[in-house]
């Protein structure tokens, strides 16, 4: 979802729920330009409490640069240069706009049930209606934990 070789810094912009689940679903996504509010509304209503089974906590992380960034294609040697988008057809292919990166983190106590619910929700996600482009998503499950503070 991001331009290769470009670091993206994310900040938590919204969350609901408390605690930490033993598992998480991580969804990489980005809003369509100018549809950020619609994308946030879709996330809040589709993934929020009551919609996802065993949801412990949900948070949305957004790229720190709210305007996104504009990058020209790699220069000879592979360096990415900052550029400007031009309206002229001749230079339109010379640069492209990169939407801000978002990450949706869904912490859960039951990763299998949550994964099925996320799959069902994303299957019907039409970006022209929701304002959200969905990239890859994966699930993580905590297998075990060790509390070193426990007295022997």
CA-to-CA distance for 6 and 49, rounded, in angstroms? 34
Average pLDDT estimate for 35-55 = 89
pLDDT number for residue 6: 59
Question: Per CATH, which fold does 10-65+93-141 belong to?
Answer: Alpha-Beta Plaits (3.30.70)
| Residue with token string 């470009």 | 6
What percent of the chain lies above the pLDDT cut of 90? 30
- Sheet-wide strand order for 96-98: 81-82, 69-72, 96-98
Mean pLDDT of the chain: 75
- Per-residue confidence (pLDDT) for residue 81, from 0 to 100: 42
**DSSP class of residue 105?**
E
**Threshold 0.95, pTM exceeds:** no
Query: Which pLDDT score is estimated for 67?
Result: 47
pLDDT at 99 (0 to 100) = 73
Q: What is the pLDDT of residues 47-106, one digit of tens each?
A: 888 888 889 999 999 998 644 444 444 445 544 444 433 333 333 333 345 578 999 999
State residue 31 phi and psi, 5-degree precision.
Answer: -80, 155
Residue 121 is predicted with a pLDDT of 87
Q: Which residues, including other chains, have CB under 8 Å from residue 127's CB and lie 6 or more apart? A: 32, 133, 134
What's 106-148 look like in SS3?
EEECCHHHHHHHHHHHHHCCCHHHHCEEEEEEEEEECCCCCCC
Residue ranges of domains in the chain: 10-65+93-141
The answer, yes or no, to whether residue 33 has pLDDT greater than 50, is yes
pLDDT of residue 21: 73
Residue 4 confidence (pLDDT) = 58
Average pLDDT, integer, range 34-42: 93
Q: Is the pLDDT at 27 greater than 90, yes or no? A: yes
Residue ranges with strand state E in the chain: 10-17, 23-31, 55-63, 69-72, 81-82, 96-98, 102-108, 132-141
Structure-token match 């919609």, residue found: 51
DSSP secondary structure code for residue 75 in this structure: P
Per-residue pLDDT reduced to its tens digit, 104-145: 999 998 889 999 999 988 887 788 889 999 999 998 887 655
């Amino acid at each position: 979802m991001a331009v290769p070789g470009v670091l993206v810094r994310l900040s938590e912009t919204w969350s609901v729920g408390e605690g930490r689940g033993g598992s998480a679903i991580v969804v990489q996504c980005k809003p369509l330009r100018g549809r950020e509010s619609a994308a946030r509304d879709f996330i809040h209503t589709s993934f929020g409490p009551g919609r996802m089974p065993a949801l412990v906590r949900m948070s949305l992380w957004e790229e720190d640069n709210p305007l996104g960034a504009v990058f020209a294609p790699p220069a000879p040697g592979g360096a990415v240069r900052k550029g400007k988008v031009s309206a002229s057809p001749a230079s339109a292919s010379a640069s492209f706009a990169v939407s801000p990166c978002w990450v949706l983190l869904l912490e859960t106590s039951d990763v299998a049930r949550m994964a099925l619910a996320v799959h069902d929700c994303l299957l019907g996600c039409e970006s022209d209606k929701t304002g959200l482009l969905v990239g890859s998503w994966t699930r993580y499950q905590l297998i075990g934990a060790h509390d070193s503070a426990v007295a022997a």
